[in-house]
Amino acid sequence: MNKTIPLIVILCVIVATPLMGQTKKAGQAPKAGSCLGCHADMAAVLPKDHKPVKGTDITACVGCHKPDLSGKPEANNFSARLHRAHVKPEAKTECALCHVWAPGKPISVKGTKASLGPVSKGTMSLLKAMFVSWAASSYLDAIHDKGNIVCLACHGKTLPEAGDTVENDRCLSCHGPMDTLAARSAPKDFPDRNPHKSHLGDIACTVCHHVHSASKVYCLECHAKFTMKIPEGNS
Amino acid sequence: MNREDLEEHEEGSPVSTKVSRRGFLKAGIGLGAVAGASGLALNLSKGEAQAAERKLPKKWDEEVDVIVVGSGFAGLAAAAESAGKGAKTVILEKMPTYGGNSIINGGVYASWDDEYHLRQKLGLGEDSPKQHKEDTLKGGDFYGIPVLVDVMVSGATDALNWMIDEGGCKIREAVTRAGGHTAYRTHTVVEGVGKGFTEPLRKIAEKRGAKIRLNNKVTWIWRKDTEGPVLGVEVETPKGKKNLRAKKGLVLAAGGFSRNKEMRQAFNPSVVPEYNSTNHPGATGEVLRYAQAIGADALQLAFIQLYPFAEPETGILDTPAVYPFNGVGYGLMYVDKNGKRFVNELERRDVCAQAQIKLGLKPTYSIFNEEMVVKMGGTMDEVNQGTAKGRFIKADSVEEIAQKLNIPAAALKETVRKYNQYLKDGKDPDFNKPITKVMIPLEKGPFYAIAQWPAVHHTMGGMRINPRGQVIDIWGKIIPKLYAAGECTGGVHGSNRLGSNAIPACTAFGRVAGTTVATEKA
């Protein structure tokens, strides 16, 4: 008689356990913004050795991974890693999974007070296009993506708008200083045919290095016979 | 041009002519009344649907005192002077880099004197502003307007010294005699390229508060009617179209149109599309059309210059391509593929270009030797680099030069022999080249040769201006608050610009325009 009570308890526990910690009933869709819409469980999305998290959406992460709006040029940060995984066209994710936004309002991250913006409808569609380029093109932005460098590392504290440009000091914070860069690009045969030290003087990096479209060597507009290649351009 | 426009006026702001052509203008153009009543802008370009409806901006996105269009010699000099007089000055540059043609040219500057008195120091003979003026007028076949040439020759030395003293410009210790000039007056910067002048000008302009805005392309000039002043410009900026008000005035320094094949052919059909151009890609002349659309007169647009010694395949005027120009006063010689001379090397550019075209043998060659290099304003460093890059061909003998160029050695040797004799005799019976005592015979090696061919280089014609840099309309009246300087103007160089006259003209006229516009009432 004493043996059956423990058995029943055990059976109840076994049946009840899968339902604990989750509000879903069998057959119900995960709540809006949940990672489980695509991922089997949270363990599948966390890196190895990451301690388990409570929650199944971005709010589960931002307690520790606070959005960094300092505009520091920094590679491989949390934002970069997360965006990189989700903005490829085949990922089929919507910004609204983790972000809160309405046209003309600031864009923020669920579960945090951080916000960037305001962002108009036009700028939003431009941002989306830039993300796709960053994730999947052959341009300089995709090359930076492979280095896990995301938007604010180049654009600073605020999201860019149409017509914005990035100043040289941002690029040089990783690729400079200018003299070192020029020394590296001096051709061995004719050192004065140096794209980074020419008779045009100090020019913007973006004259040649177009980040969200194909780059083009400006020198070749006149010096058509020079042999000059730009890594991310049409050779 | 009317005498009224050229009369001296009292100190203070420029005044337009006293004679009123109000009735005449309204009847003649018929837009005056309409424009005033309905807020439409002056627009002498009827027909095109997009251009037909141009409404004046309801409000201005920004207001400054002086807007300068173009960041070359003329634009920078104008901005430097207007900013120096306290006017808030903005330079609008449509390209992503500054300097246009000014930053990439040969960096040669004709001036009868300089603060080091180099011509005198080097014993190179006499010169004067009067002689410079005479050479310039003659070189342009007397199409040049004498009062405009006065501005260049009287302002050239001052402007050179200004760039040296205030801008840190450094010139080489050499003065050359260039084609069409009768004196040794051509100076060179140490860099050997126009940047040696644009950087000093930019330094002066920015130090005085002028600001260059890159990627800002002017797309229209606003003027309400045929009487009033220009008001401002429409600009294509990275942030979209904006309207900028110019309270004191607008200075157009947008360069020429050598890269615009349609305009070239429209004014001068013989400048066929096949010609390369030495110019930067932005030399397309649209600002001239915007000025004409609001009444500006233009002149001598058919006069389009070919630089005779551009690199044959691309038309580029690189450092080596300056040598055929600079060396003629020191003994440099031109030969064709048959090893024969074909022109007086000290002739004007159009004569040298046409002589080559008549030959129909592309390319021709300049021959010089090492003895001449430094005297002719060059450096051994440039020559060695140019040789390594295949631009100069180096040889120890005339025979070897002929072999390397694949031209008949016997013919070339004979040409050189005769040429050296002419230098000794002091006379050139073949082509009448003036022989001077500083010319060096082609006797001692090493010898150098460089291939050359004409390419479209400079457009002498453009907007009509008066000696104060004010733009004149088709009736001879000053367009209030509109100024222009540099290659976009016409009437300074006549039918043919003498080499090394461009920088002094641009800088002198830029300074005049900038000084005068700053005195306008905002």
Q: pLDDT by residue (tens digit) across A111-140?
A: 888 888 788 888 888 888 888 888 888 899
A222 chain-B contacts, CB cut-off 8 A: 104, 280-281, 314, 316
In whole angstroms, what is the distance from residue B446 CA to residue B12 CA? 61
The per-residue pLDDT for A63 is: 85
The per-residue pLDDT for B347 is: 93
pLDDT tens track for A132-191: 888 888 899 988 887 778 788 888 888 888 888 899 999 998 888 999 999 999 999 888
In whole angstroms, what is the distance from residue B511 CA to residue B407 CA? 49
- Please say if the pLDDT value at position A1 is more than 80: no
Give residue ranges of A with CB < 8 Å to any B CB: 161-165, 189-190, 192, 199-201, 203-204, 206-207, 218, 221-225
The per-residue pLDDT for B14 is: 44
Best CA proximity match to B306, nearest among B502, B101, B140, B456? B456
What are the strands, taking DSSP E only, across chain A? 99-100, 107-109, 115-116
The per-residue pLDDT for B336 is: 97
**Residue with tokens 């830039």, as numbered in its chain:** A130
Does the N-terminal peptide bond of residue A191 adopt cis geometry, omega within 30 degrees of 0? Answer: no
Q: Which of the residues B103, B389, B456, B457 would you substitute to probe the A interface, choosing the one with the greatest number of A C-beta atoms within 10 Å?
A: B389
Question: Residue B413: helix, strand or coil by DSSP?
Answer: helix
Which token pair is A84? 């990189």
The per-residue pLDDT for B355 is: 95
Check if B280 contacts A (Cβ < 8 Å).
yes
Residue type, B301: L
Burial (Cβ within 10 Å: 0-12, 13-18, ≥19) of residue B513: buried
Provide the 8-state DSSP code for A231.
T
What is the mean pLDDT of the segment spanning A15-35? 55
**pTM, to two decimals:** 0.83
Any residues with CB less than 8 A from the CB of B154 and at least 6 apart, and which?
A: B129, B508
Best CA proximity match to A62, nearest among A29, A99, A117, A107? A99
Could you tell me whether strands B62-69 and B240-252 are parallel, antiparallel, or unpaired per DSSP bridges?
A: parallel
State the average pLDDT for chain A.
80
Positions of chain B with pLDDT lower than 50, given as ranges: 1-37
Does the N-terminal peptide bond of residue A118 adopt cis geometry, omega within 30 degrees of 0? Answer: yes
**Sign of the torsion angle spanned by Cα atoms B382, B384, B390, B392:** positive
**Residue with tokens 């936004």, as numbered in its chain:** A101
pLDDT tens track for B362-420: 999 999 999 999 999 899 999 999 999 999 999 999 999 999 999 999 999 999 999 99
- Distance set, CA B172 to CA B157, B198, B264, B319, B374 (Å): 16, 16, 35, 15, 10
Write down all domains in chain B, each with its CATH number in brackets: 3-100+201-303+460-517 (3.50.50.60), 108-190 (no CATH), 314-456 (3.90.700.10)
Which token pair is B423? 């230098």
Other C-beta atoms closer than 10 Å to the C-beta of A133 total 19
Residue B349 catalytic?
Answer: yes
User: A206–B199: do the CB atoms touch at under 8 Å?
Assistant: no
Provide the 8-state DSSP code for B367.
E
The per-residue pLDDT for B46 is: 52
User: B389–A190: do the CB atoms touch at under 8 Å?
Assistant: yes
In whole angstroms, what is the distance from residue B138 CA to residue B118 CA? 25
When mean pLDDT is compared over A2-16, A96-110, A137-151, B314-328, the highest value belongs to B314-328
Question: Residue A86: helix, strand or coil by DSSP?
Answer: helix
B457 chain-A contacts, CB cut-off 8 A: none
Best CA proximity match to B503, nearest among B520, B521, B487, B483? B487
The per-residue pLDDT for B23 is: 39
Confidence of residue A12 (pLDDT cuts 50, 70, 90): very low
Q: Which residue of A has its CA nearest to B317?
A: A222
The per-residue pLDDT for A29 is: 62
Other C-beta atoms closer than 10 Å to the C-beta of B405 total 21
In whole angstroms, what is the distance from residue B230 CA to residue B291 CA? 10
